[in-house]
Structure 1
Amino acid sequence: MKSSINIFLLCSSLITSAQIAFEDSGKAVDSLNTHYGQNYLVLDPLSERMAFTQDRSGLSDSFIEKQSINGKEIILFTDWLDKPGMVSPLGFHEGWIYFNKVIRELGIYKGGVFRTQSVNMKPERVEIPFFKNKAPVQSGCISKDGKYMILSMEANHTYGVEDLYVVERNYDGSWSRAKNLGAQLNTAYQEVTPFLAEDNKTLFFATNGRGGAGSFDLFYTVRLDNSWRNWSEPINLGPQINTSGAETSFAYRDGEKRAFYVSSQDSDAYGDIMQIRFKEDIEEDTTTLAKPDPVAKRQPEVDNRLILKVVDAQTEEVIPAELIAADERKISANGTFEIDSLTGEEVEIKSAGYLPKMLMLDDQLSVGENVIRLSSVAKGSVITLDHVLFQRGTATMVEGSEKELNLVVEVMNDNPDIKILLKGHTDNTGDPVKNVQLSEARVKAVKAYILSQGISPYRVSGKGYGGNQPLYSNETEETRKLNRRVEFEVIED
């Protein structure tokens, strides 16, 4: 007799055209697992090959090798834990092995996509216009037909840390720039290890931003139109897969009755490859790539004008502003900027007496008016730092959180009389005393970073409140997570 989770998944899937049900619980694949950590699993859709990353310590320049396990070809990508950066497989297509690579250069992480036809050949870079990943990790998949890559990365303008993006293959074989999949999928936390089913609509991914059983849970969703930004509500794959640990890298081959994924019980790093029996009813995408319009091809990539209107976040009144790009500055007395074309570059939006905001000039913007809200730093203002995130249950900041803290440092340098009180908050679950201690530890971590940037300690104080000052209901995880926050109050200006 199947558990109730099968019924729930099946009924929910009927709404979104994907039918998925599990027949048992996941089991470790002992032949593939070692005392090293296994992560970032992908499958060759046309053979029994698979690839995954293995965590190792040691000194070596080798990062990709081929092995045979039980007569099946395994492509191993070695993640040398002693070295900054990482590699992870992305997928197989037409004889190529695609993979992600992140390096650390001059203190900055830089990601890219590469491919090779053999483990012994020098890889070549896959050119993606305006590509930028600043996170220390990068994961993704390539669709069975090679039309799409879905990437997990941190660009300059994201909803959180790692977001999911789509890169589409053009008719001439080139690739489009990465397009964010939108706020219906991406949260203020991390979305990683995507897998696109054969219909090119059903998407599986792992996230720590939607609650669930553990640090990362696996979900699936269905794309509802061709915009790649309209999705069905993500559905948790349930307790037959998701545990109190971290589950990532769900993948399967069309027609097979088993799926693979990675589960880690001790930490997010050391994972085991698991398999689970399931059934699915998803039709293959048979559409072809459209030929480009020869007239449209001569036009600019974006020929519709965009307008940025800068307003006070509280009053919605337009305020004077400055737009700072890499090679120019624009000042607008009426807080309005016209953008002729999307360049994919990052700009800063500033106004005297307000916390600056970083903005990516990409297709997350809409044709016509885009409202940019800046928060005042007048005395008494309380500003939540939405993108200052911490590893689960710790005071260790997630990589990339310093981006928003740098804006706090900037506004304090621009306004030398400002003094701030950092406030740490948790939800109301768990031991109240430990929640206060955790919130205080996180405040100390944020303060330490701000002081490390040259701000006087006399201008920054802090306090942890635990779960005593919720902004939202603690009845559901969706609202509870909004209460887990760091904010600052301007106590003197």
Structure 2
Amino acid sequence: MKSSITTFLVFLNLISSAQIAFEGNGEPVDSLNTHYGQNYLVLDPVSERMAFTQDRSGLSDSFMDAETINGRGVILFTDWLDTPGMVSPIGFSEGWIYFNKVIRELGVYRGGIFRTRSATMQPERVDIPFFKNKAPVQSGHISKDGKYMIISMESNHTYGVEDLYVIERKYDGSWEKAKNLGSQLNTKFQEVTPFLAEDNKTLFFASNRPGGQGSFDLYYTVRQDNSWRNWSAPINLGSQINTTGAETSFVYNDGDKWAYYVSSQDSDAYGDIMKISFKEQIEEDTTEIASTPIVEVKLEENDKILLKVIDAKTEQVLPAELINGNERRIGANGIFEIDSLSGDEIEIKSMGYLPKVILLDDQLKPGENPIALSSIAKGSVITLDHVLFHRGTSDMVDASKKELNLVVEVMNDNPDIKILLKGHTDNTGDPVKNIQLSEARVKTVKEYIISQGISAYRVSGKGYGGNQPIASNETEETRKLNRRVEFEVVED
């Protein structure tokens, strides 16, 4: 325990004027923590109630229970570990408790949003047009005024694994379809457990993006306009909260002394509810914000975007093909001009290289944007950056199939190619278990490639555990680089 008290000050002088201060460090809320895992914490903005998910072993039809702990009302959502799927609270609004529910049917995860009254515990589905979550987890938060839900899920056209989406409530009480919060906020990594402050602009969330102190760190950002896609650069909440473990589910009520969050010192272990002394000044948003649809952005002549296809190692310009649906364009000089940011996914191909899929969005800047392709010549080793697995398991994240489909495509285009899949972990934990986990993950990838029609004799695999690092294992940021799946071209 530190003898002196440190204070972390954050000044937000953007659209929303805010002053946030933490005093001291986080401490566990012993009355709420058990030997079970606590996760996905939310608070009732008009009472002392809170809700969170508690991991349990066993089988039961019960999904929630109401208790009183030290005078505080607690709604427990039970995540039965032996049952595929999960539940997690979203928040309280107008007497309802909103929550996420994910089930597994016919080998596919399906997510939905529900609500119930705590007195009846009779859930009803909330109708969200075209709602689709493909991940086994789903988290979120409903704003204090009930106008917005921020949901973390893996849907179509995500930037990585779980992305953050906004769902806006219409004046008749129904809900709009979910809109991605954009590339300024979402990354190829996971953005989870969002919390929207009462100004409806300041957003807190957890992410395992590079640069954090642990496996998941807590960040905040501020919305800059009504599009919900323009955000200030996310800022880490700092070492008073974030540790080398995993911190998620940051929440507070306006004017309260304490902010709460969930912390786990091992990314695969159970979480504890923590609290930290907290002061804030964020003005409540009373303006009516109209829904702003995402539309195709036409570019002026001076803002033209050029895609320049190059070799990832030599940076030599490559003749290439651009595929957008049924449209195919040949770029003999390796240059493609983009005249609109349509949000479409396009594929870039060049003979003898692994194709790449990119999104026509605001990540592309005026002028030349290099698109680096990896050679598939014999001896080439290519890291599959977007082939990811759920924590501590060999269960592949569904979005990984997009990159593996490119591997399948290049093997179909080049029928003589044979590849060796390589699985790697960092050096934390039991070395034997790390090798076993990396071998299991390689097996999962191999089985998927074979299931797409590639002959088994063309695909071999091996797990190396943490024996072949490509970066230091001293920090979490560099350890993440060592957790990877590669393939080596052993015959072309």
TM-score for the superposition, normalised by structure 1:
0.78
1:417 equivalent in structure 2 = 416
Shift of 1:159: 2.5
Q: Give the Cα–Cα distance (whole angstroms) in 2 for the partners of residues 44 and 462 of structure 1.
A: 49
Q: 1:46 to 1:181 in 2, by over 3 A?
A: same
2:95 equivalent in structure 1 = 95
Q: Give the Cα–Cα distance (whole angstroms) in 2 for the partners of residues 370 and 3 of structure 1.
A: 52
1:422-479 Cα shifts (integer Å, max 9, x gaps): 466789x989xx7xx9997776445423432434345446686967756xx9999768
Shift of 1:339: 12
Counterpart of 1:55 in structure 2: which amino acid? D
Q: Give the Cα–Cα distance (whole angstroms) in 2 for the partners of residues 250 and 447 of structure 1.
A: 35
Shift of 1:21: 1.3
Q: 1:22 to 1:368 in 2, by over 3 A?
A: closer
Shift of 1:177: 2.5
Q: Give the Cα–Cα distance (whole angstroms) in 1 for the partners of residues 473 and 410 of structure 2.
A: 33
- Partner-residue secondary structure (3-state), 1:452: helix
- Partner-residue secondary structure (3-state), 2:128: coil
Shift of 1:274: 1.9
**Number of equivalenced pairs:** 469
Q: 1:441 to 1:68 in 2, by over 3 A?
A: closer
Shift of 1:83: 0.6
Counterpart of 2:443 in structure 1: which amino acid? A
Unaligned 5+ segments in structure 1 are: 293-299, 325-329
Q: Give the Cα–Cα distance (whole angstroms) in 2 for the partners of residues 275 and 53 of structure 1.
A: 17
Q: Of the candidates 393, 397, 400, which is equivalent to residue 399 of structure 1?
A: 397
Counterpart of 2:328 in structure 1: which amino acid? S
Counterpart of 2:398 in structure 1: which amino acid? G
CA contact (8 A) 1:43 1:251 kept: yes
Q: Give the Cα–Cα distance (whole angstroms) in 1 for the partners of residues 487 and 68 of structure 2.
A: 55
CA contact (8 A) 2:11 2:20 kept: no
CA contact (8 A) 2:425 2:438 kept: no
1:264 equivalent in structure 2 = 264
Q: 1:230 to 1:382 in 2, by over 3 A?
A: farther
1:371-411 Cα shifts (integer Å, max 9, x gaps): 9958466425654312123567x685653364233442343
CA RMSD of aligned residues (A): 4.3
Q: Give the Cα–Cα distance (whole angstroms) in 1 for the partners of residues 480 and 267 of structure 2.
A: 21
Q: Give the Cα–Cα distance (whole angstroms) in 2 for the partners of residues 423 and 114 of structure 1.
A: 41
Alignment of 1:104-253 (within 5 A): 104-118=104-118, 120-253=120-253
- Partner-residue secondary structure (3-state), 1:25: strand
Shift of 1:193: 0.7
Q: Give the Cα–Cα distance (whole angstroms) in 1 for the partners of residues 32 and 434 of structure 2.
A: 40
Shift of 1:197: 0.8
Unaligned 5+ segments in structure 2 are: none
Is residue 26 of structure 1 aligned with residue 6 of structure 2? no
Counterpart of 1:449 in structure 2: which amino acid? T
Counterpart of 1:451 in structure 2: which amino acid? K
Q: Give the Cα–Cα distance (whole angstroms) in 2 for the partners of residues 12 and 280 of structure 1.
A: 10
Q: Give the Cα–Cα distance (whole angstroms) in 1 for the partners of residues 66 and 359 of structure 2.
A: 40
Q: 1:365 to 1:468 in 2, by over 3 A?
A: closer
CA contact (8 A) 2:131 2:178 kept: yes
Counterpart of 2:397 in structure 1: which amino acid? E
Shift of 1:227: 3.0
Q: 1:407 to 1:22 in 2, by over 3 A?
A: same
Q: Give the Cα–Cα distance (whole angstroms) in 1 for the partners of residues 267 and 296 of structure 2.
A: 48
- Partner-residue secondary structure (3-state), 2:61: coil
Q: Percent identity?
A: 62
Moved more, 437-446 or 42-51: 437-446
1:311-360 Cα shifts (integer Å, max 9, x gaps): 74546767445556xxxxx2535489999998x9x978485856456678
CA contact (8 A) 1:216 1:246 kept: yes
CA contact (8 A) 2:56 2:78 kept: yes
Moved more, 333-342 or 200-209: 333-342
Shift of 1:63: 0.7
Q: Of the candidates 444, 447, 459, which is equivalent to residue 449 of structure 1?
A: 444
- Partner-residue secondary structure (3-state), 2:46: coil
